[in-house]
Structure 1
């Protein structure tokens, strides 16, 4: 059992949502009283570690594979043969669709956990250095969850403390601008306080460059091209990170490309390395997978693209060759060698490329795209390409490089207004209304001030 789990400030709900309070969470029997949780550095640090544990301790939860699976199905990355995901695959979401409640309630439980940490650290007698580090990690994780909530559901309540649970449960949605300003401010504060060095020998606790990497993404999504480029620059310039030339090493726990990873805790299933690997990789090597990369996406790979060779795996069903995502290659295995990779260097090159493109720095944008292509074994794109051509090339590289990771493809298509023209060619009856993700009915009844997406 992970040493952090006993210090979690509250349990992360799997499905159970109070019928009248979406923030109500029952405390676990192993909970450490709030006052003692921050009485010394070791206990306080373990409490923060419990936050990361709660995000990755059971299968098919928000941060342990679920979001990647459902958003890959909504887009054109890969889909599942399991009928519980059909409404995502066919883009027929309703407020009653399975798992939608988890995509809301679980990030809010992590935000509540982060808020408790920030308040507990501030009120403690810990040293200023420890206070700064732990508060910064909690701010980073709080923004990470708000980033996904805001991009999934557009307008969501902004809750930054635990002082009045009833008031928090009655809060209406913040505007996109309010959420964006909050995320930037919180990450800037975290960047000042967090250590640049990793805490420990692994990359499972965020450092300064993890903050910069997330800030680069936030800036990009808001169209702040200059700041997105500047933040990505900082990460790319750090020699601790490098594009792994062997694609089979990118998602290992020792990967030099990793900026931030989550470690599976294996509370329910022995030998799990990552929950995505556990879900997607068959128990028997010769068996079929129940996850299939969309045919149109398989066809998008150029000849000799190493990403198709290394990150997809063929299997046969009814004499037809299908492909499953294969970035994580282990269903189970000991010792653990793979960690859930949340932030990695390749994304920063693609962020910088998009930021440069939108500042009309075309040669520099191509240079970044070509770094990713050349690592994949492909020829560099010519410097004669115009802006529109580079934009399409970048869209394709983001699709193939980040396939199946954390909903990147869905968010990219939505934020660039490309969902309708792209997905209507892949899916039957895909329409403008399919772009919005509804809030689950179980969530809406908890707060009369919440608003359903149009």
Structure 2
């Protein structure tokens, strides 16, 4: 069968076709259009269009995989948020009683991530054969696509567990793939990122941080090593990012999510014409009299220490009748055509906390405390005591990360699971909690179409 990566001489149509094709690759029916053209890879300009178009797709739809989904729905799963409207398919995330027929799982998450994976692989395959650019010119594009595949699989395995590992654009083989063990997917993710490190330059491809550079790959590698218990490597990669001199914590919390943020490592430019970030559009009330769609839970609000600037700067309160609703307010712009806030995917604060946890795990408590105090100082809090035990230090890191990254990219949800804390923490907060709730179910539509794909065993 011909490749379903159909090519066109019109660079403006590249992304549209690619994303139509990648939905087809997860379906039973073969793609309708199997026309193959060479012209997408006829010039550096059209190659770049296909790369940049993938980032555009990531930020074009509200509350999709790389644009708000984790902040909202995983925030509900982790008891950071409450849904004030009670919408049924949204409420399933809060109660951790997800149905495998939930359309949000299928369209906004599963298919979206596999679309990014398919797109990135299609570009990688095209780069292998094109003569329009030199081998040296190919490498940055390859590095970007390897990074996209890596971050997509990172979220898939952390949300669903074992999932199919797609390494080609061959439709016939992909439609019959079984689930791959999470450990093997982490091996692929690590391999992709190590190769991306070799290919990506230290400088960003543009004047902003909206496409990956070398340190974006290193930042994600630091996270991967932490999640896989390779603490020395996690510390080493965090050291490289923090010590690069390219980034620094913003002193003002309101500057963290701006395009000019010194703290931002990788951001997505908001391509939707009506709003900036999905979080801003979703969390900020639609009018001065409107109730927020989502409110912070009481357990989260009680976790803030007195005087924490993050509660003051990153949350808002709206009183409707006799009820006060406190909502996430990290992003300040709900809607508008001016792009003044960017979707911030990776930022420096995480690298300090990765390094802190890695140091604590390896017994270097003094250095771990120093890094936690960097974050606490910015938040207006006192330094931690110097004589903490290892367990106390790790608890302090967990607390700091919970507050620093509340309602942001699902950090809390993923951390509760990787540290085997979900049963204890969420079991005490949610009457319906079961251990099997830690993984989202694979959408039934995908299982029906692929007889080799089985559901998570405990679902």
Which runs of structure 2 are paired with 1:67-216 in the superposition (5 Å)? 67-82=70-85, 83=87, 84-102=89-107, 103-125=109-131, 126-162=133-169, 164-216=170-222
Determine if contact 1:444/1:451 at 8 Å carries over to the other structure: yes
Which residue among 281, 284, 290 is the counterpart of 2:284? 281
Q: Which moved more, 1:286-295 or 1:252-261?
A: 286-295
Secondary structure of 1:79's counterpart equals: strand
Alignment RMSD: 2.2
Conserved? CA contact 1:191–1:211, under 8 Å = yes
TM-score (structure 2 length as normaliser):
0.92
Normalising by structure 1, we get a TM-score of 0.93
Unaligned runs of 5+ in 2: 1-9
How many Å separate the matches in 2 of 1:408 and 1:132?
A: 31
How far the C-alpha of 1:424 sits from its partner, in A, is 2.0
Conserved 8 A contact 2:25-2:174: no
Pairing 1:286-435 to 2, within 5 Å after superposition = 286-435=289-438
CA-CA distance at 1:172 after TM superposition: 0.8
Q: Distance in 2 between matches of 1:435 and 1:161?
A: 29
Contact 1:9/1:116 (<8 A) preserved? no
CA drift at 1:285: 3.5
- The answer to whether the 8 Å contact 2:22/2:118 transfers is no
| CA–CA distance in structure 2, aligned partners of residues 46 and 376 of structure 1 | 40
The answer as to whether partners of 2:80 and 2:407 remain within 8 angstroms in 1 is yes
Contact 2:101 2:444 in 1 (8 A): yes
1:244 match? 250
Q: Deviations over 1:269-306 (max 9, x none)?
A: x3411122112212224532111011110111011101
Query: Residue 425 of structure 1: CA displacement?
Result: 2.4
Match of 1:60 in 2: 63
- Give the superposition deviation at 1:16: 7.0
Distance 1:114 1:17, change over 3 A: closer
Once residues 4 and 325 of structure 1 are traced to their aligned partners in structure 2, the CA distance between those partners, rounded to angstroms, is: 38
Q: 5 Å matches for 1:245-260?
A: 245-260=251-266
Deviation beyond 6 Å, 4+ runs, structure 1: 13-19, 24-27
Secondary structure of the residue aligned to 1:99 is helix
Q: How far off is 1:11 after superposition?
A: 4.6
Q: Secondary structure at the match of 1:324?
A: strand
What is residue 4 of structure 2 aligned with on the other side? none
Task: Rate the CA distance shift 1:281–1:15 in 2: closer, same or farther, 3 A.
Answer: farther
Provide the C-alpha distance between the structure 1 equivalents of 2:204 and 2:36, rounded to a whole number of angstroms: 28
Question: Relative to 1, partners in 2 of residues 1:361 and 1:40: Cα closer, same or farther, differing over 3 Å?
Answer: same
SS at the partner of 1:195? coil
C-alpha distance in 2, partners of 1:5/1:264?
18
> Is this contact kept in 2: 1:6–1:50, CA < 8 A?
no
Higher mean C-alpha deviation, range 241-250 or range 85-94: 85-94
Checking the alignment, whether the CA contact within 8 Å between 2:98 and 2:441 is kept in structure 1 is: yes
1:257 Cα shift? 0.5
Q: What is residue 224 of structure 1 aligned with on the other side?
A: 230
Are residues 340 and 26 of structure 1, via their aligned partners in 2, closer, same or farther at CA, if it must alter by over 3 Å? Answer: farther
The residue aligned with 1:7 is 14
> What SS class does the counterpart of residue 428 from structure 2 fall into?
coil
Q: Is the 8 A contact 1:17 1:105 kept in 2?
A: no
Q: In structure 2, what is the Cα distance between the partners aligned to 1:13 and 1:304?
A: 50
Give secondary structure in 1 for the equivalent of 2:176. Answer: coil
Aligned residue for 1:235?
241
